[in-house]
Chain A
Amino acid sequence: MTTTNGVASLRLISDEIDGFDLSPSDTEEVHVLAVDDSFVDRKVIERLLTISSCKVTAVDSGRRALQFLGLDEEQSVNGFDGLKVDLIITDYCMPGMTGYELLKKIKDSSALREIPVVIMSSENILARIDRCLEDGAEDFIVKPVKLSDVKRIKDYLTRDVNLGNEGRGINKRKARESCDLSSSPPSVITSSSSPSSPSSPFRSPSILSSSAPCSPPSTLDSPTSRLKMTISD
């Protein structure tokens, strides 16, 4: 048996939705496609997602991810709509096709661009984070990935359903802000072991710790604006 928390909260949100035209996949388990070339990381992310009540498909490359999504090399979709994917979570550094390149291919595809993409990386490089977010990534997680990171992503995926899939981009981040009191801090600054973290109020350990309550919304901006504040520090 897996933990009941994830399932309970998902059911609760589903029960509260009235009058929304939900496709079957919205009321079933969230289906996540995880992409990572590392055996160890694939096992961990698979488990993190499963324990968070997600259905997981884990592949080891961008190419395989695109094959799974039905986007073959000719850039056309094979009319393959069987296994609908609700979220793609991909490593950044991979041989062949990087996570960023995978992100671009997905966002360039009319069939797939609506699928949220989260990028993971062991390197906390602000320029990289910025570029991914600006080019359509939903979020950027600094590895190692924790349960709180997965929970946060799942929370705003299901919240997205509540907003009728309207909370795209900046709006989605604002929606996340207002609910930040109940969720863990955004992951771009989660990595407390990152050697490059400058000291600033937003990076103090008490805010980073997932067991500590979040600061009031006014001090927590969207990842992009926080990054801009950090760059100017």
Chain B
Amino acid sequence: MDVVSQLQKQFIDFSSSLYREGYVDDQFSQLHKLQDESSPDFVVEVASLFFDDAEKLINSMARALEQPCVDFKQVDSHVHQLKGSSSSIGALRVKNVCIAFRSFCDAQNREGCMRCLQQVSHEYTMLKSKLQTLFRMEQQILAAGGSVPLE
């Protein structure tokens, strides 16, 4: 198997695993439909926006939960935003944690919220790492003169 074919196979396997393991859902593949010659880095660009957004929001949630008197509405607002952007990018696991997180905000359950904060932070970190790996693999294929296989 030549280098390009090998890289392409690895890419397909890795990409499939992201869907199979629920890191990303169909919306992530929908985003790929929006990428073309006029916007060749669209997915990477959206992902970068998402990473920035998520990090800010997670930090804000952490700060809000550290307060002696927690403003659960404020926490919920941040979680709601993260849920929205994770949904738009297809970040399924992050989104699902946000859904649970909101219930704890509604219940004003600080411990539950802290657990969710840890979970969402973990899922986000995993996803960022996975996506960066995926994007790196795409670059390797392109650098080797191949084309990135479609979903």
Contact = CB atoms under 8 A, between A and B. Distances in A.
A76 interface: no
Contacts of B80: 93
Contact of B85 (A1, A40, A48, A192): A40
Contacts of B31: 44
Contacts of B37: 1
Q: Is chain A's interface secondary structure helix, strand, loop, or mixed overall?
A: loop
Given A40-B85, A41-B85, A93-B80, A51 B34 contact: yes
Nearest to B45: A43
- Bin the interface of chain B by size: 20 to 34
B55 interface: no
A147 B49 contact: no
Interface in A6-52: 38-41, 43-44, 47-48, 50-51
Contacts, number: 65
Contacts of B87: 122, 143-144, 193
Interface in A95-147: 122, 143-147
A40 B42 contact: no
B46 A43 contact: yes
Given A2-B36, A38-B88, A39-B53, A47 B25 contact: no
Contacts of B52: 39
Nearest to B95: A193
B39 A47 contact: yes
Interface in B1-49: 25-27, 30-31, 33-34, 36-39, 42, 45-46, 49
A147 B33 contact: yes
Interface of A: 1-3, 38-41, 43-44, 47-48, 50-51, 93, 122, 143-147, 192-193, 195
